[in-house]
Structure formats: C-alpha cells, structure tokens
A and B are shown apart, each in its own frame.
Chain A
Amino acid sequence: MTSREQILEAIKKYKPAATGLPEHLSYPTLEVDQLIGQFQQSSMLNGGKTIVIKTVEEVSSYLQVHFDKQLQVVSLIPELQGTLDITKILDPHDLEAVELAVLRGTWAAAENAAIWMPEENLVHRALPFIAQHLAVVIESKNLVRDMHAIYEKIKVDEFGYGVFIAGPSKTADIEQSLVIGAHGPRSMTVFLVST
C-alpha cells in the first residue's frame, strides 16, 4: 500500500460519525458609520497609518512631501507616475532597490484593517514585501465590516496568489518589544479615498 492509501485507510477506519457544517458565517456587529473610524484604529494598532483623502490625486502630493524622489518608486495606480516600470521587470530580484510601492487594494475589512490584494494588483508577488515602504490606495466604498464580508465577495483562487495585508512588516521576537520593519516594508500608509 502507498502512504496515501495507508493514510486514507486509517482515516476511514478511525474517523468519528459525520457532523454538519455551520452555514451563514456572518456576524454583523459593526454599523456602517463606524467603518472608517474602526479601520483607522485597527490600522494604527497594526503599526500602519491611514490618510483619508477626497481624490486620488492627493496621494501624489502627500508622497512628494514624505518620500525622497531620487529613490525608486513603483506605482500601480494611474494617478501617480513611478520611477520604475514594473511591467519591464522579469525577475523579482530586480525589485530589491524599490523604496516605495504604491498599490491598489480591492477590499478592506474595518475590524482589523486587512486589505485584500490579489496577484493582479501586485504584478510581481514579491513587490509588497521587498519594497522598503508600502502605500495602498482603497476606495471607502470597498471598505466592509469584517473578513466574512470579504470572503463573500472574492474568489480566493481567481488568481494564483492573493494576500491580506494589514500593516507593515513587524516582529516582537526580542523580549516582546515591537519593532517595525522586520524583513519587509518599514511603513504602510493606507490612502482611504472617501467620496
């Protein structure tokens, strides 16, 4: 018998009596008017920062003030011009010097500031991890209560990869002291476009 057959045989023999699955995994406890406030608070607790803006054009003016223009910027939003054209990059190792990546988020959960970004938003899977800083732009109409609401809307296997990013890279492995910037981005700025 192969290992596969042995494992499946053993399970058949030992598994308990069949039980059912709970349906309708939804717990609407946040009100619509609480969403932006809750998102901002969650993001802050995760080590991130939220800027509420009226138009996407404001992203550009904010970043000009806060980031060095001499360094590499990859922008995947049409309103902002980057310095590196990611579509010309074939090997993700060539992203090593990226200072700032600006991406679009698809859905955001207010409860924990997790933002869903499928592979098409990233072009290269490595981008939001290898960049020194990360900025994500998301429309407030795509801000929902919680993870359940997002899983209802997305198809997780539509792309080969997708990720919920909720904050910058962080660790507390040395005496439980929080340090931002473990391996990936040293900051995460979320631009919440509230129209």
Chain B
Amino acid sequence: MAENRTHAEAAEEFLKDEERTHWHDDTLWHVRTKRDTAAQKLPEWEVLRENASQIKEYVLSHLDELLIQFENNATANGVTVIWAKNAQEHNDHVYRILQENHVKNLVKSKSILTEECGLNHFLEAKGYDVVDTDLGERIIQFNHQVPSHIVMPAIHLKKKEIGDIFHKHLGTDAGADDPQYLTEAARLHLREKFIQANAAITGVNFGIAETGGFVVCTNEGNADMGTHLADIHIACMGIEKLIPRAADLGVYLRLLARSATGQSITNYNSHFHRPSPGKKMYIILVDNGRTEQLGREDFRNSLKCIRCGACMNTCPIYRRSSGFSYGSTVPGPIGSILSPGIDLKKHSTLPFASTLCGSCSDVCPVKINIHEQLYKWRQVIAKEGNPEPAKKWAMKLAGKVLGNPTLYNIMGKSARTALKLSPNSLIYTRFNAWGKKRDLPEVPKESFKEWYKKNRTND
C-alpha cells in the first residue's frame, strides 16, 4: 500500500509491468466508451445530470432536516437508526449489534463506507470471519488486498492470478482460469455462506427521506441473498446518501449504472423499508468527516458523489497508475478531492495526480466540478508548504521566466540548443519525470515567435 509514498512513487510500482498497465488502461477505457454509448442513447442525458446535481444541492442545503425526517420515518417503519460521528463509533455499533444478537456468521455486500471505516479488520480482530460476497471483493479478500476501484474491486488482477487465488482458497483446478468456471466455484462456496449467515451487512446507495427506506443496487444479487436469508440486516450509510423523494430515484437509478459500466440499470435494485416479521433491521448513519467537508465551500460539492466510478474510468492518470497508487479508500479523481479533506498530509500528492484535463467533470453524473476542485486543493496544499521541494523550486523559476519576456526568449533558445546537443543519458535522468516511459518530442529549430516573424512579415 502507498501509505507514506507519493502518488508518483506508488504508480511506479504498477508501471513496472508494462503489459498489465496497457491492459488496465485499455479495459477501463472500454468501460468509459460503453458509458458514452449508454449516455448518448438518452436525449435527456444532460437534463438528467443537471437535475441530479440540483437534487443533491438541495440535499446538502437541507441535510439536517432531511436526516431527521429520514430517521423519523425509518423508526416508524420498525428500523433502528443509529448515528456515528466517526469510523470508530460506526465499527463499535456494528460490533455491539452482532454481540447483542449472538451473531456467529456474517456476510457482507459491497460497501465503500465500511472500507473507509476499516470494518473488516476491526471485526476480524474481534474474532469474526467477515465474508465479502461481491465476487470481486471476495477475490481481493482472499488476496489480502483492498479494492483498487469502487465498482470493479479486482480490476488490477488478471484471470490467471484469480485462478491461482481460487486454487489456493477454493480448491479449483490448478491453472484453471476460465471466468465461467471460477465464478461457478465462487457461487457454490458463497451459497453455503449465505445459507449459514445470521447477519448481513450492506451499504446504501440511496436513503429516501420521505419514506425512511433505502435502496441497494447490485448485479450479482448478493446483497439480497444475504439480507433475505439472515435475521439481522445492518445497513451502513454515509449521511450524504440521502435523497428527498422516492421519485428522485428515477433520476439516480437511470444515471448510476449507465455512468458506471454503460448498463442501462443494475439487475437488482432493492428498496428496503421494513424488516420481515421476526427479523431486525438497523441503519447506521455515519459522518466521519462529511460535515467538515460540508463546511469547505470550495469542496462541499464532492459530497454529491453517487460512487459510480466514471471519473476513474476516464482519467488518464488513474487508468495508467491503478487504484492502489492513490493510497486512499476512494481512488481516482473523486478520491483525490475527498481524501485531502480527511487527511491533508497523507494525501497531499493526490490533487497533483491529474492532468486537469477535465474529463472527470464531463462524465460525472451529478456534475461535480472535480478538476476545478483538484486545482483548488493544489492551492491549499501549496499554501501549507506541502509540495515536493523540486516542484516548488521549478514553479518559482518558471514564474520568473514566464513573467519576463526577454528572459523567456533567451531561456527558450538555450533550451532548444541544449536539448539538441545533450546526449540522452543527460536528458533521461532520474530528475526528469517526463522522460520516464516516454520520449521527449523532437526539438523544433525555432520558437513559434521566430517562425511567426519570418512568415508573417508581409501582413
């Protein structure tokens, strides 16, 4: 993990395997193109995005009232609502509920919030065997890893590696790597876990204030297999997951899967309101830094995120550096604007892991101005004195040169000459990050200014 490394240092690790890097890049770009196809099929796409953004704007500006409304309605529905200020409180509540209900076996469906809270490690330390049931999550759980993508958790692994992991943990044939065969093995293994489970933990995609219910979306049906067979359902929900009305689901369900993978919808979209007779349902509402982010005017829009992952699939940096290089629960562009709010020091290099091309903002279904926020975080970080010394020094020098036309002309000329004359060994040193994995373009003979003077004198 990239605990104390910069994004660039961590990315270097991933880039060592050139073939894998290209595969990762191409695969995610393919998902991005599927998203485009799905979006272009709907003439109302841009209106939907605008509405989705407006509804979330309303949510952020009425969050306290909506949370109370949600709590009242959910409580009236027979659901126990619990509030957690931070990850520790969240984990303690889950543990307490499991203890109170004498839960022995638990299954879990995908929840980025519980990753954020480190729930699995916490429960494992208490002696629980936490079984992740999303196929991708089960794979990385066997492999002692965390998700490298919020929608495709095991996208960093090749099927050969997954075959080896399953051979070790599920006894599949050595060397077998057919996805159909491996999925069938996981199906049989996890069915057993579903049947035995006393409790199921899920995330929440959308909480509905006006009804006190919540929606969970999956393609595998694992959240439903878990919750409907177990007696206890614990739903872990970030406070920003609220929407005011049930009708708003139309907007978000239409956007979510299309943005995520290019599907028109996830195959299962479950609306939970009341527990089945004799069963129990809990909702844990988690803050964990969200209210602080709400207080940051420049960055509060990031709380609109519905976790589709589209910004990751489109990002030229993410595609070529993989999720682990970010060292944060949510990687990619959205992670790079959320994570500095949680720990500015630890995540200070993330806002620089971007070309600021703006593609993330263009594909975001709730219109978060991601690239602008990346730029704003850079300014915050520069003020705090955090960027690497070399970058700081280079920026100062660049500022001087760009601010002085004579100096700029001289520097340009000498750079062109120097680059032409220098041997490669001098150009591609460890000091030149731009020379890694790529060649510099051919040096032009003259500057544009010189060319313009020569060619436009008659005009």
Contact = CB atoms under 8 A, between A and B. Distances in A.
A1 to B, nearest CB: 10
Contacts of B264: 42, 45-46, 111-113, 166
Given A15-B61, A46-B264, A159 B133 contact: no
Contacts of A169: 219-221, 267-268
Contacts of B61: 15-19
Contact of A126 (B48, B184, B229, B244): B229
A166 B270 CA distance: 11
A12 to B, nearest CB: 5
A7 B64 CA distance: 8
A92 interface: yes
Contact of A174 (B60, B182, B245, B272): B182
B271 to A, nearest CB: 5
B267 A174 contact: no
Contacts of B265: 46, 112-114, 147, 164, 166
Contacts of B211: 156-157
Contacts of A167: 267
A126 B183 contact: no
B159 A7 contact: no
B321 interface: no
Contact of B195 (A93, A129, A179): A93
Interface in A130-158: 130, 146-148, 150-152, 156-157
B295 A13 contact: yes
B425 to A, nearest CB: 39
A103 to B, nearest CB: 14
Interface string B264-307: 11111111111110000000010100011011010010000000
* Chain B CB within 10 Å, residue with most, of A12, A17, A20, A114: A114
A33 interface: no
A129 B64 contact: no
B134 A173 contact: yes
A29 B135 contact: no
A42 to B, nearest CB: 6
B184 A163 contact: no
Nearest to B83: A4
Given A125-B224, A170-B220, A10 B295 contact: yes
Given A29-B43, A147-B254, A182-B222, A93 B136 contact: no
A27 B267 contact: no
A175 interface: yes
A165 interface: yes
A46 B244 CA distance: 29
A177 B63 CA distance: 40
A82 interface: no
Given A14-B291, A16-B60, A167-B267, A22 B55 contact: yes
Contacts of B104: none
Contact of B225 (A8, A11, A12, A130): A130
A114 B266 CA distance: 9
A44 to B, nearest CB: 11
Interface residues of B, number: 96
A126 B228 contact: yes
Contacts of B44: 27, 29
Given A11-B294, A175-B158, A181 B184 contact: yes
B345 interface: no
B172 to A, nearest CB: 12
Interface string B211-226: 1110000011110110
B62 interface: yes
Given A7-B83, A114-B269, A22 B54 contact: yes
Contacts of B133: 183
Nearest to B68: A8
Nearest to B267: A167
Contact of A148 (B162, B224, B247): B247
Given A147-B254, A156-B246, A164-B265, A183 B291 contact: no
B60 A15 contact: yes
Interface string B135-159: 1100100000000000011110011
A163 B270 contact: yes
Nearest to B296: A14
A166 B220 CA distance: 12
A152 B67 CA distance: 24
Given A125-B228, A164-B269, 6 more contacts: A12-B64, A18-B58, A18-B61, A19-B61, A29-B43, A125-B276
18 contacts: A6-B287, A18-B61, A25-B251, A29-B44, A46-B264, A46-B267, A114-B253, A114-B269, A126-B225, A147-B249, A156-B213, A163-B224, A165-B269, A166-B266, A167-B267, A174-B182, A175-B27, A181-B183
In the A-B complex, the 9 residue pairs with the closest CB atoms? A160-B274, A14-B295, A112-B264, A184-B221, A173-B136, A10-B291, A27-B44, A126-B228, A182-B220
Interface of B: 27, 30-31, 42-44, 47-48, 50-51, 54-55, 57-58, 60-64, 67-68, 77, 83-85, 89, 133-136, 139, 152-155, 158-159, 162, 179-180, 182-184, 186-187, 190-191, 194-195, 208, 211-213, 219-222, 224-225, 227-229, 239, 244-251, 253-254, 261, 263-276, 285, 287, 291-292, 294-295, 297, 300
Interface of A: 2-4, 6-8, 10-22, 25, 27, 29, 42, 45-47, 92-93, 96, 111-114, 124-126, 129-130, 146-148, 150-152, 156-157, 159-177, 179, 181-185
